[in-house]
Amino acid sequence: MMAATLQRHPAAKWLGIVLIAAALVALPFMLAAVGTTWVRIMNLAILFTLLSLGLNIVVGYAGLLDLGYIAFYGVGAYTYALLASPQFDVHLPFWVILPIGALVAGVFGVLLGAPTLKLRGDYLAIVTLGFGEIVRIFFNNLAQPINITNGPQGISRIDPFRLGDFSFNQSETLFGLNFSGPIKYYYLLLLVLLAVVVINLRLQDSRIGRAWQAIREDEVAAGAMGINTTHVKLLAFAMGASFGGIAGGMFAAIQGFISPESFVLVESIMVLSMVVLGGMGNIWGVILGALLLSFVPEILRHTVEPLQRSLFGKSLIEPEVIRMLLFGLALVLMMLFRPAGLWPSKVRKRELTE
Amino acid sequence: MTTLLEAQGISKRFGGLEALTGISLAIDRGEIYGLIGPNGAGKTTLFNVLTGFYPASSGEFVFDGARLNVKQPHQVALAGIARTFQNIRLFGNMSALENVMVGRHLRTQAGVIGAVLRTARTRNEERAIHERAYALLEYVGLAPHQHDLAHSLPYGDQRRLEIARALATEPKLLALDEPAAGMNATETATLRQLLERIRADGTTILLIEHDVKLVMGLCDRVAVLDYGKKIAEGKPVEVQRDAAVIEAYLGGVLA
């Protein structure tokens, strides 16, 4: 209905795009007015959106359940950290490292994909879960005999993004506006997100996208129709992983510090929840899911404590506990009432309703 | 007439069970070759070995003048053999048109970079895929249903969609596993016309079928399998009179 109206009025469509663009440009300043924390939260939310879009290729398009996806985020983050920190005293520029990180993560994607080609569903989930843990344990233990990852202490003093004299973590004033570090990163993240969305949209309606969908529908028939299922599945793993790698590199630069703790199983599950809750296979749904699951817990974190104090005069339950309780409840309700996600792809909707 | 496909002593064992024993047969270009036999005779097993789903225990296929590499199904499709399935295997949640478009996969090239950059070449190829898929839907008479989901189509239409999808791979040999199963008389008659037309347009057909009338009317030659062995081969009328065939179908005289 809405789409039909938009098609009949291309002017309305362009107006909509301009309005959304203006809102996205103004957003960090509005958030900064509330507190710089919220700009940081927004940046993390975009990082998780990138991760969700990457995972969506593997889970949503190709139908391969991956519970260890955060490992690729970690691989990207460590690649950046090792090539731009005092750890080895290597300081490469970010536009060199990010592609390297994407490539390394992509290779890890193939490493995970190759032995699991014949697995599906539950079995694949278990193996990918194990893979995620193995990678994290490597981060934790690659401090001896040669110190590579610095073990559980993690790597600190990671270089921020720099372009010549322009550094992304310093505030500057332009046109009378204060551009803080997080705000600069926000714009960069937004550009990367835009690129990733375009890439995803174009892949979806391509020969490769159809091949992924065919494999998801019926792998045997896809093979008989001449699709090299090995090739196409590995491609999905590699593509998904490389998006994770890029997000990881940006995460390392923005935080300036990483440790294995950032890449635990719960994070994988969180990203998967974003994809499932938003609507597997639909880019807009996935983005919605990622933003919601990034923001709602933060909003709860900032409201639960004051609310309890005003109601009972003291804090009865720790905010963290309530946050997870409400989060769990929300997920259960979602799966009961909107099993295909908040904004499902047309295909998923049909699968679950017919 | 020259030989398109030659099976040379194909055997297939599953553990102790010998599903196929030394099957040899030769299919000529442009013919409709039937494969019949009682249930469990090994017809579908032969199909699965031919199309790369199971490795043969021994024996090999010569296809189009070269040894057929049957390691993986997609290689067989690339060589020019397309198949359908006894229990229909369409991409249920994709539209009829998309199903046929998937069939164009191995005759097209566009990769990730082409798709992301939407190069002129990719756009042209995509348009060609679309046109060819639509033409094939017209060919099998499903053009009005192009946007319907495959699983929502009536049974007979699903069978024809599977054939259209197989034809999209540009096969030299079209291998059909019981295409008339579950069809009513009208649907079977339409199917028969379609198969004759496909043959007239130059594609050789290998057909597993239980519908005796269809097989006898359509096939140039048939082979009869029983307990994994070929017990007869020839023109349908000859085979019908073969003593071994009658015994296989009706059972031997009680001792």
Alpha-carbon span A89 to A82, nearest angstrom: 9
Cβ pair A301, A319 in contact under 8 A: yes
Q: What is the pLDDT of residues A89-106, one digit of tens each?
A: 888 988 999 999 999 999
Q: Return the structure tokens found at B67.
A: 């040894």
Check A224 against B118: CB less than 8 A apart: no
Sort out which chain A residues have CB atoms less than 8 A from B104's CB and list them: 207
Kindly state whether B158 is in contact with chain A, defined as any CB-CB distance less than 8 angstroms.
Answer: no
Taking a contact as any Cβ pair under 8 Å apart, which residues of chain A between 207 and 236 contact chain B?
Answer: 207-211, 213-214, 217-218, 220-230, 235
Mean pLDDT score, B204-217? 88
Q: Enter the ipTM.
A: 0.90
Residue partners of B132: CB distance under 8 A and separation at least 6: B104, B168
Mean pLDDT score, A171-185? 78
**Single-letter residue type at A276:** V
Q: What is the pLDDT of residues A141-172, one digit of tens each?
A: 988 888 888 888 989 899 888 887 777 777 77
Kindly state whether A62 is in contact with chain B, defined as any CB-CB distance less than 8 angstroms.
Answer: no
pLDDT band of A116, cuts 50, 70, 90: confident
pLDDT band of B77, cuts 50, 70, 90: very high
Closest-CA distance of chain A to residue B3, Å? 23
In this predicted structure, the answer to whether residue B255 has a pLDDT above a threshold of 50 is no
Check B106 against A229: CB less than 8 A apart: no
∠ at Cα B115 (B113, B120), nearest 5°?
A: 100
Helix, strand, coil % over all residues of chain A, rounded to 5: 75, 5, 20
pLDDT score of A151: 86
Mean pLDDT score, A10-15? 84
Sort out which chain B residues have CB atoms less than 8 A from A347's CB and list them: 93-94
CB pairs under 8 A between A and B: 107
Check B89 against A239: CB less than 8 A apart: no
Q: What are the two backbone dihedrals, phi and then psi, of residue B172, each rounded to the nearest 5 degrees?
A: -90, -30
Cβ pair B37, B47 in contact under 8 A: no
Q: What is the pLDDT of residues A245-271, one digit of tens each?
A: 999 999 999 999 999 999 999 899 999
Q: Which of A211, A226, A347 sits opposite B77 (nearest CB)?
A: A226
Q: Which of A226, A239, A351 sits opposite B106 (nearest CB)?
A: A226
Cβ atoms within 10 Å of B12's Cβ, excluding its own: 22
The upper half-sphere exposure of residue A302, i.e. CA atoms within 13 Å in the direction of its Cβ, equals: 9
pLDDT score of A191: 94
Alpha-carbon span A346 to A316, nearest angstrom: 44
Check A227 against B125: CB less than 8 A apart: no
Check A224 against B82: CB less than 8 A apart: yes
Q: Quick one: how many helices (H) and strands (E) in chain A? A: 14, 6
Cβ pair A40, A213 in contact under 8 A: no
- At residue B42, the 3 state secondary structure works out as coil
Residue whose token pair is 């009328």:
B237
Q: What is the pLDDT of residues B8-49, one digit of tens each?
A: 999 999 988 889 999 999 999 999 999 988 888 889 999 999
In this predicted structure, the answer to whether residue B243 has a pLDDT above a threshold of 50 is yes
In this predicted structure, the answer to whether residue A286 has a pLDDT above a threshold of 50 is yes
**Single-letter residue type at B75:** Q
Residue A54 CA, chain-centre distance (Å), reads 7
Kindly state whether B101 is in contact with chain A, defined as any CB-CB distance less than 8 angstroms.
Answer: yes
Closest-CA distance of chain B to residue A173, Å? 36
Residue whose token pair is 């193939």:
A110
Q: Quick one: how many helices (H) and strands (E) in chain B? A: 10, 10
Closest-CA distance of chain A to residue B98, Å? 8
Alpha-carbon span B231 to A14, nearest angstrom: 71
Q: Which of B78, B102, B107 sits opposite A210 (nearest CB)?
A: B102
Mean pLDDT score, B100-115? 91
Closest-CA distance of chain A to residue B248, Å? 32
pLDDT score of A218: 93
Helices of type H across B141-226: 155-167, 185-200, 212-218
pTM to 2 decimals?
0.88
Alpha-carbon span B104 to B174, nearest angstrom: 15
Q: Which of A198, A207, A224 sits opposite B77 (nearest CB)?
A: A224
The upper half-sphere exposure of residue B142, i.e. CA atoms within 13 Å in the direction of its Cβ, equals: 33
Q: Return the structure tokens found at B253.
A: 């005289």
Looking at the DSSP bridge assignments, the partners of residue B13 are: B18
| Distance in Å from the first CA to the final CA of chain B | 45
Mean pLDDT score, B164-186? 92
Alpha-carbon span A267 to A261, nearest angstrom: 10
Cβ pair A132, A68 in contact under 8 A: yes
Highest mean pLDDT of the ranges B51-55, B158-162, B214-218: B158-162
pLDDT score of B175: 94
Alpha-carbon span A157 to A97, nearest angstrom: 16
In this predicted structure, the answer to whether residue B253 has a pLDDT above a threshold of 60 is no
∠ at Cα B249 (B244, B255), nearest 5°?
A: 70
Mean pLDDT score, A213-219? 93
pLDDT band of A348, cuts 50, 70, 90: low
pLDDT score of B181: 86
